[in-house]
Amino acid sequence: MLPVSQIIRRKRDGGELTPAEVRELVLGYARAELPDYQMSALLMAIVFRGLTPGETAAWLDAMIRSGIVVDFSHVPGVKVDKHSTGGIGDKVSLCLAPLVAACGVPVPMMSGRGLGHTGGTLDKLESIPGFRTDQPVERFRKIVARCGLALVGQTSDLVPADRRLYALRDVTATVESVPLITASILSKKIAEGADALVLDVKVGDGAFMKTPEDARTLARSLVRAARAYGKPLVALLTRMDRPLGRTAGNALEAIEAIDVLQGRGPADVVELTLALGAEMLVLGGRAANQLEARARLRRALDDGSGLERFRAVVEAQGGDPRAVDDTTLLPRAPKITAVHATRSGWIDHIGCETVGWLNVELGAGRRTSADAVDPGVGMVFIRNVGDRVEEGDTLVEVHHRDEPAAADVVRRLADAVAIGDAPPGDVPLVLERIDE
């Protein structure tokens, strides 16, 4: 291989790297043989110059090869997972995975923690007393075989290159690269043993992808790269211009996901769960089309089999299964302060990214990976975008501990809710479906 400095220069000048060069660079960095300063320079060149489809495929393959790939051949059927790019109030994974598993599709789900303004699935799950997401690979395999699903965090031997690279990208302003995001997402999903994938790409103020154009670019990159690797992938672009459901905060969102499985969840969370679940059932070969898939998912909601799967996986991962039926066992913040409407009208807009960062200030999220999370704090949205309100109505309930900090959050949250004189235009929940 040429000296690393020459390879960096070639990419900086718009040239293409060979698969062998990509492999040596990624694996060398995973082994700590390539210094941070050279990888940082390469990453910045990639941000400006991009990667070709061939380079992206090579980068993805090298990331996967940096660790082990989980073998689920002992579990019958097509294993299907779902990934969300993150938003405010996105608790869908908690109700989606058991519902899909109840319909016969195994779901080996490996999720992440909240970082930045969006929440993390692992933090929500760990608000359930005793629930352990840090399962070793062999235990992960056994739980999927027994329950039809598992909800775990990334282990140290899966895609170690991604952990090192993401930490470096986070501190060198090189996160916003579609090929690098593509390789990061897919490497973990392929290494975890999934045969097919459904992707929820959030679009709007509360998402990392602010415009449909950016979301579409990422979705198409992921579909192409996954299919080149032999993994079918369907992406749905979904709105994130308002909080999803009624809650934002770890225990509050876990309770809302349980509400969905009990047949009484918010309409938007239920609909998104059904939309993503239908794609998973079709990819998993358990339904011939969307109509049949939705009917099966509805039956699993109505007969309680989705809820039973969730109860089973909670117990299998060390959690208290009683919390599924008695959610008062989950953590609660000791104080609630209301945000009131300052005028009458229709809620025109809620600054979702602002909501996310205010939730972080309450303690529901983290600014760095080392920060602790308070599972009981968060927000309950009594009203959402499009609702008619009268002056003095409660818009949001803030669940908190520290009075001075909460007072500032309440004030800024009131400013983040815009009330207009007419109903806002309707934005569909699912904006687009991309499978090629």
335 tagged catalytic = no
Q: Which two tokens stand for residue 219?
A: 């979705």
Torsion angle defined by CA atoms of residues 176, 174, 22 and 2, in that order, rounded to the nearest 10 degrees: 140
Active-site residue, selected from the candidate residues 11, 23, 82, 83: 83
Tens digit of pLDDT at every position of the chain (436 positions): 789 999 999 999 999 999 999 999 999 999 999 999 999 999 999 999 999 999 999 999 999 999 999 999 999 999 999 999 989 999 999 999 999 999 999 999 998 877 678 888 999 999 999 999 999 999 999 999 999 999 999 888 999 999 899 889 978 989 889 999 999 999 999 999 999 999 999 999 988 889 999 999 999 999 999 998 899 999 999 999 999 999 999 999 999 999 999 999 999 999 999 999 999 999 999 999 999 999 999 999 999 999 999 999 999 999 999 999 999 999 999 999 999 999 999 999 999 999 999 999 999 988 776 778 999 999 999 999 999 999 999 999 999 998 777 889 999 999 999 999 999 999 999 999 999 8
162 tagged catalytic = yes
Active-site residue, selected from the candidate residues 184, 187, 200, 383: 184
User: Into which CATH architecture does domain 4-65 fall?
Assistant: Up-down Bundle (1.20)
Q: Contact, 69 vs 191, CB < 8 A?
A: yes
Q: Contact, 70 vs 199, CB < 8 A?
A: no
The highest-level CATH class for domain 80-327 is alpha beta
Nearest partner of 63 among 258, 254, 285, 229, judged by Cα: 229
415 tagged catalytic = no
Residue boundaries of the structural domains of the chain = 4-65, 80-327, 331-420
Q: Contact, 235 vs 219, CB < 8 A?
A: yes
Query: What CATH number matches the domain at 331-420, 3.40.50.150, 3.90.1170.30, 2.60.40.10, 3.30.420.40?
Result: 3.90.1170.30
Active-site residue, selected from the candidate residues 61, 90, 123, 162: 162
Nearest partner of 382 among 422, 412, 427, 337, judged by Cα: 337
Is-above-0.85 flag for pTM? yes
61 tagged catalytic = no
Active-site residue, selected from the candidate residues 169, 202, 216, 309: 169
* DSSP H helical ranges for 103-136: 121-125
184 tagged catalytic = yes
Active-site residue, selected from the candidate residues 79, 91, 188, 311: 188
- Give pLDDT, residue 175: 83
